[in-house]
Amino acid sequence: MTNLTLKQLRYFEALARHGHFGRAADDCAITQPALSMQIKELEESLGNPLFERAPRAIRLTRFGTLFAERARKILREVEELEDLARMAGDRLSGALRLGVIPTVAPYLLPRIIAKLGVSHPEIDLHLRETTTPKLLQELGEGKLDAAIIALPVSEPTLTETPLFRENFVLVRPEADRGRPVPTPDNLRKMRLLLLEEGHCFRDQALSFCDMSDHHPREMLDGSSLATLVQMVGAGIGVTLIPEMAVPVETRSAAVAVSQFSEPRPSRLIGMVWRKTTPLAPQLASICETVRQATTPLPNTAA
């Protein structure tokens, strides 16, 4: 076997992940014919087909599945070698690839970016906003250096570092202002608006109400906290949002915001990274900067 290159491994990994030549080519920022040629050359070099090609789909062969496991391991280790080069002394320099969940990103990132610009001016921050499962996947694949998510994730390959805890608040139509705050039992009887499936905040809200996705209820789902709050303002139902989102999401909606009685629902936000990354000391330092950016969190609910 000759001429096996890291570029070919990266193209192969993208195609194995997407299962589609067009999407894999876009991910790799090359043309589809160029990607096809590289994959063909890789297969010829290996002497075995990596993919079964059908008119509308491609899938890994048995050999391709075994090859993918080892290729991903090699690519992760190469990423960690590149991480070593990104460290200058005790400080991280160059690109920092940071993932953030959508229920944190719009409210926390402006503060984080400002703080990091002062404390770590040598960092080139690359941000990725998506749901927790996708962030964990990309973290494991070496596509991200760290991610800010809700803890715990209980993934043995990751280091979890708590950053702060914040409460959830109740958002109701303005007409409900001054009424008693419903208990979790009463919330189960109301039209509770939640984020669509895939968001960890949805699961946290359901847990507070002691409900599951299979619990029969009158519901509507939204793709963002902004959508949920606007739906509440239109009188469609009630929702829960994290406290940090209140100043942004309620400023243009006719809603009332209330704190729950103790014990209040809350979540722990933290940063996670691979235990094997050589950037761990630098990421721990960045955690301290993020904590400073979140102190104090706004407390705007009545």
CB 238 within 8 A of CB 192: yes
Distance set, CA 241 to CA 63, 106, 224, 298 (Å): 47, 13, 10, 13
Cα atoms in the Cβ-side hemisphere of radius 13 Å centred on 196: 8
Angstrom distance (rounded) from CA 242 to CA 56: 43
Question: What tokens were used for 205?
Answer: 């809200």
- Quote the Cα angle for 157-158-159, to 5°: 135
Which positions ≥6 away from 296 have C-beta within 8 Å? none
The yes-or-no verdict on residue 136 having pLDDT over 70 is yes
State pLDDT tens for residues 204-225.
888 888 776 545 445 568 889 9
Nearest Cα to Cα of residue 71 among 11, 137, 9, 25: 9
- What is the structure's pLDDT at 86? 63
State pLDDT tens for residues 22-49.
989 998 889 999 999 999 999 998 999 9
The yes-or-no verdict on residue 295 having pLDDT over 80 is no
Angstrom distance (rounded) from CA 14 to CA 69: 13
Angstrom distance (rounded) from CA 29 to CA 6: 15
Q: Which domains does the chain have, with CATH numbers?
A: 6-79 (1.10.10.10), 85-163+270-293 (3.40.190.10), 165-266 (3.40.190.10)
Angstrom distance (rounded) from CA 132 to CA 146: 12
